[in-house]
Amino acid sequence: MTSKVLTVALRRIILKPSHLRRFSTAAAVAVEPYQEDASGITMKGVKISGRPLYLDMQATSPVDPRVLDAMLPYYLSRYGNPHSRTHLYGWESDKAVESARAQVAALIKTSPKEIIFTSGATESNNISVKGVMHFYRDKKKHVITTQTEHKCVLDSCRHLQQEGFEITYLPVESDGLIDLNKLQDAIRPNTGLVSVMMVNNEIGVIQPVEEIGKICKEFNVPFHTDAAQALGKIPIDVDKMNISLMSLSGHKIYGPKGIGALYMRRRPRIRVEPQMNGGGQERGIRSGTVPTPLVVGFGAACELAMKEMAYDDVRIKALQERLLNGIRQKLDGVVVNGSVKRRYAGNLNLSFAYVEGESLLMGLKEVAVSSGSACTSASLEPSYVLRALGVDEDMAHTSIRYGIGRFTTEEEIDRSVELTVKQVEKLREMSPLYEMVKEGIDIKSIQWAQH
């Protein structure tokens, strides 16, 4: 009887014309965040012909359909709290969480016992930086990090400074990599942590993590790395790299948002002070109910990444070369920001001389790209990462980050090249500076008069 009533109700809903809508890869929502008609889409005063091409994989990645398939049962039928010990619903959820923990651990070559689930890499970074220093505050008062870290690491360090801790912000070379000698010279007897990002979110450079780990081991200093942009994209071996703590994120590897993990070494054991109090879940490090569907999705994403990393890497490198060569064949004054040799291929950060960055971004409405980190993209200031590389302010203002991923196609790359070239040429036609350069005038030698 119940099923008959449900069927009738569903039929009424489906047959109503107001409920008919075009299916898309985006999740259905009650109210569309934009206006769409035959002429295109309008949102925030911007009108475009259709949904843009997505080339912002460092900000977030789409959920792999196979990941969603793994998650759905834990929303619809296996919805038990994994911490409920008295019935089947809790047992099956707990088993799913532990299975996902093993999947995450396998990707970084460690034990599931060393994986703590969190809400994402930001929380993991906070636990690592503040948690370690608070636990060892009686003996350790000094932290070493770099000027190009993610905002959450830099802000955690500033928070520690306000509490009386000392922070050394290592500069980077023009290629975005740190000088290992400067790192070694910065270590003191009271250094409690070295925190260096594995793959930079803005410029994609891969730091020499294994060498950093060796230095930290030699001086007996815990080594933390933010690997949100590295997980599933480059091979990670926590023992070989001598990593003590590592921050991981689900939504950068085609998993769901709102889930991440913290790797914490057990031998030699690293201790942290919890940043959240509650029921003592996750070995007391991160209290709060573990979200089973998100954890299952994260685990599935890690397993897929382990199987497909080599294939994805070859394919993404080919797409990156296609994008870079396509742009450089038609435009001069294009600079790759960061090391060309030591970088993740899916992150291509380019600066275009004699073009204003915000104008270029606005002109590229049909391509979803950014001018830097999603966490700081609301600011019109030039990227602090590019400034740390010593990039001229005018070139830092013109940077565009192209993010290539598992589902990016050759057609999307070709269209992005076409639109980028068209917009840069259009802006340069309006630029008096570019005219002067074409006439052979050295702009930097000009003495500009003030009015």
Amino acid at 447: Q
Q: Are 194 and 132 in contact (CB under 8 A)?
A: no
Which parts of 131-244 are beta strand (E)? Answer: 142-146, 166-170, 191-195, 223-226
Alpha carbon of 377 to those of 120, 206, 250, 290, 361: distances in Å? 19, 22, 21, 31, 11
Task: Taking each helix axis as running N to C, give the angle between helix 292-330 and helix 410-429, from 0 to 180 degrees, rounded to the nearest 10.
Answer: 50
Residue 27 DSSP symbol: P
- How is residue 353 written in tokens? 């001389």
Strands 191-195 and 142-146: parallel
Instruction: From 115, 163, 114, 120, select the one nearest 143 (Cα to Cα).
Output: 163
Catalytic residue among 152, 216, 302, 375: 375
Handedness of CA 268, 273, 275, 280 (dihedral sign): positive
Whole-number CA gyration radius for the chain: 24
Number of H helices, E strands in the chain: 15, 15
Write the DSSP string, 37-69. ETTEEEETTEEESSSPEE--TTT--PPPHHHHH
- What is the dihedral angle through the alpha carbons of 171, 177, 179, 180, rounded to the nearest 10 degrees? 120
Q: Are 161 and 167 in contact (CB under 8 A)?
A: yes
Q: In the block, which residue shows the tokens 């949102």?
A: 43
Instruction: From 449, 419, 447, select the one nearest 55 (Cα to Cα).
Output: 419
Q: Is 222 left (phi over 0), alpha (psi -120 to 50) or beta?
A: beta
Mark whether 375 is an active-site residue: yes
Q: In the block, which residue shows the tokens 């926590």?
A: 238
Amino acid at 91: W
SS3 (DSSP) at 277: coil
**Residues classed as catalytic:** 375
